[in-house]
Structure 1
């Protein structure tokens, strides 16, 4: 009996042990997993820190190298992609004198570029694959050289700039908002280096073109300079808002810590050195031409200015003081105003009408007294300067695609003026962001920008977009513009020595084919394509901007389009028209480029687009 009780007790204890073991097993497994996860996370953290340290050391070594380097007699040329190796392409290596062979191969491809036919045969497909491989290598080298140039430019810009003494004085802190600006003359932005001295010098026109690549050559003769958000500079001759407490202007300047540059909706206003009217120089004044007075003159809202001894100079100064972008002279009267739908400045008259209209003879018929001599003043047309991100995220991704040097940045500037929305970028260019392209820092797939800049042309990259504005510029001008940028930056020019070096022929042999391949790939793989020619934008800006806005499914007013036309140059135009003193294109180069032009022109026509402008085509 006792033996049976002992067996039962042992059996119960055994079952209890088994139960405890089954409960402890999952806890043991969980403990082992957590220990392994901790080790894994620790390993990832160490790897991340080591990778970051390596990058910092590499950048530090680049800075030390650049600071320690001595400048050679001739400015060094940034790395230019060398022609692809024969093994990569499966074709003979390209020599400087071998342009005609390559041109014939490209033309053969162009002759087969018919939808659904010879392009897909074995020879055409093999050629296209090899060319795409070459272009991908070239794009990677181009992007690497672009990032290298940014690092170099940051090192160069780290050198302290000489402060220009000024006689301006601080007035106070004033209200400011996007609808009613306190200063309405002109505006520019620098998110990295803005200082009160820079703003005052720009508004008073003491800063010339050689002192900064961020600013226009001259915003001449304003009386007041105001700073807001630490990075925005406004110029004007009248303060139109109320003064507030000085402590409400509490943001430091981006380029000068400890110096106040306004606040949120608050403007720190300074006076600038006053100059007598006869001492002012207006380098940004542009004569627009002779124009007939509109039939409904009241709709143009012109402001009549009465002056004794009226001259064009005094009329311009009077309209600048009243902060108007247009000065119109019809002796003995001076008028100030804006371009409007009734006064577009698109149909100039013969100059003799204005010369007769401005005579002092009273016997002239009344019809000859209705012509204006119109001048564009340095005052910025403020009707289109306000820009924002899209109010709602767009589900459609639109590319603004072009070959480097085709004017992509300029077209972005025009689109932002016309639509009022920021444009984005597949890349990040800190220089452009500092100039006011706020969309440059936004993720390119965010849907908050109206279109996205890209130079990519691979099939995978193209098919990521729902539609594209394909910007095309003459390959001759594009190649020269990109070579200028590589040698001397966004606003500089390559010297004659640069054009005579071996880098220029190598540059043409590599980049000319990219120009054609970029267009052909977007035509083939793009889902919805609007072709825009750079030269047509220059000659017919408003109609082309209207078609771009329609393609973007955005409504724009006529006043905003005219404002964009008035402010079209922005900060992106090279000063003057400097060109090499000799023709840099050899006959072999022209043979290659002319063949590419024929290929692209035929491809455009095959896809029911307008062909290339006549000035592109070989003669």
Structure 2
């Protein structure tokens, strides 16, 4: 089903390469490349087809020599464009931008994928050509592969740039541009009645990022009560599906303006973040027209702190009271814990979900895959700032924090609320 689309016949020309960068989605049908800014201009996400069986022209085969497909007679294969491709070999700048961290070297290495190279970017070039999502380099050897139980990229160690003795036990990891298909296949639920979960947060508490983690882990799109087009444009395709269609689970809601709780939810995941941090994040979102990646000027944020911080922190406390007073199951997650250990956190959330369809048999494989791309699709770039919270504002915020702490204890939540009273400087 096609809507407004753009056909690009000659992508090698300078003008067309520039034009393609404007688009986020691409579809292939036979020898045609179709580009669009929105998924719905290319296809209807509610329908899926197993008829993508036209062999690509030009003798395009995968690394195993199997001919690749380019859509079907009445079907297209749709791709989300995450960034520009690299033509030719990687450079040192490419390696620096794709650096995933330093990890302890696994006891066993895949010798079949071992190479002798002289630099990290040469290692990336080799692994990219062999279609591996990760390149491992220890100043001497290069090997290619993907994350698995013994290679969790969220378990990083100190820098590899130390003594040679230490680096023999550690390896640098770089991400190529090859997608790991283990967690790349995300789809809508088939229509049906499900015990659905509400993902409740105060705005700015990591709801969008948590949705990304859960989509990759479960293999199904999350939903939302907001239909935020800016999110569907960057890959959160469940955002464009009405909740009443019953094609999504794990539904985002911030419960602003005393909004009542929907009766379709069987359980809640409540993500709590330091109010000194999440309210600032919310101010950035509100002042930048709902952008999930832009930041407002510091002086404007400071003005909001002085004028409306008390009102916002009361809303922060009221949301948590609303959820914690429910008779239905509630899983409380602290945002700071998710940041510290995202894989263990998302595993805990998946195990809590009441819908059995969201418990994949290959969960551990999907989590290993997720550890390679943990950042997500929408992230506001970190920046240094030093906001001043007047004593009266701090008093109001800390009263709200203590109130929520008492609610959690009354609910029987085992893990106490972190010491948010320390303010935005709190280390966690």
Q: TM-score, normalised by structure 2?
A: 0.75
Residue 618 to residue 265, structure 1, CA distance change in 2 (3 Å): closer
1:265 is matched with 77
1:342 is matched with 150
Contact 1:228 1:265 in 2 (8 A): no
2:286 is matched with 486
SS in 2 for 1:281: helix
**Residues 161-310 of structure 1 aligned to structure 2 (within 5 Å):** 168=12, 197=17, 201=21, 240=62, 242=67, 264-265=76-77, 274=87, 277-278=90-91, 281-282=94-95, 284-294=97-107, 296-298=108-110, 303-307=113-117, 310=118
Please, which runs of 5 or more residues in structure 2 have no aligned partner?
1-9, 26-31, 43-59, 424-428
Contact 2:102 2:170 in 1 (8 A): no
1:220 is matched with none
Q: How far does residue 612 in structure 1 lie from its aligned partner after superposition?
A: 4.5
Please, which runs of 5 or more residues in structure 1 have no aligned partner?
1-165, 171-194, 202-210, 216-225, 252-262, 359-367
Q: For 1:154-175, what per-residue CA distance to the aligned partner results, in whole angstroms no more than 9, with x for missing partners? A: xxxxxxxxxxxx97269xxxxx
Whole-angstrom CA distance in 2 between matches of 1:284 and 1:394: 44
**Residues 49-448 of structure 1 aligned to structure 2 (within 5 Å):** 168=12, 197=17, 201=21, 240=62, 242=67, 264-265=76-77, 274=87, 277-278=90-91, 281-282=94-95, 284-294=97-107, 296-298=108-110, 303-307=113-117, 310-345=118-153, 347-348=155-156, 355-357=163-165, 369=168, 371-391=170-190, 393-448=192-247
RMSD of aligned residue pairs (Cα, Å): 3.7
Residue 324 to residue 465, structure 1, CA distance change in 2 (3 Å): same
Whole-angstrom CA distance in 2 between matches of 1:409 and 1:244: 33
Q: How far does residue 505 in structure 1 lie from its aligned partner after superposition?
A: 2.5
2:328 is matched with 527
**Residues 519-558 of structure 1 aligned to structure 2 (within 5 Å):** 519-552=320-353, 553=356, 554-556=358-360, 557-558=363-364
Q: For 1:201-260, what per-residue CA distance to the aligned partner results, in whole angstroms no more than 9, with x for missing partners? A: 4xxxxxxxxx99x79xxxxxxxxxx95685579xxxx86264789xx7899xxxxxxxxx
Count of residue pairs brought into register by the alignment: 374
SS in 2 for 1:466: strand
Q: How far does residue 611 in structure 1 lie from its aligned partner after superposition?
A: 4.2
SS in 2 for 1:589: helix
Whole-angstrom CA distance in 2 between matches of 1:499 and 1:415: 31
Whole-angstrom CA distance in 2 between matches of 1:266 and 1:487: 34
Contact 2:191 2:245 in 1 (8 A): no
Partner residue of 2:365 out of 556, 559, 567: 559
Q: How far does residue 485 in structure 1 lie from its aligned partner after superposition?
A: 0.9
Q: How far does residue 280 in structure 1 lie from its aligned partner after superposition?
A: 5.7
Whole-angstrom CA distance in 2 between matches of 1:589 and 1:419: 41
1:507 is matched with 308
Residue 578 to residue 394, structure 1, CA distance change in 2 (3 Å): same
Partner residue of 1:591 out of 389, 395, 412: 395
Whole-angstrom CA distance in 2 between matches of 1:496 and 1:369: 45
Whole-angstrom CA distance in 1 between matches of 2:158 and 2:278: 34
Is 484-493 or 316-325 further displaced after alignment? 316-325
Whole-angstrom CA distance in 1 between matches of 2:237 and 2:78: 20
Q: More helix by proportion, 1 or 2?
A: 1
Contact 2:95 2:120 in 1 (8 A): no
Contact 2:273 2:335 in 1 (8 A): yes
2:48 is matched with none
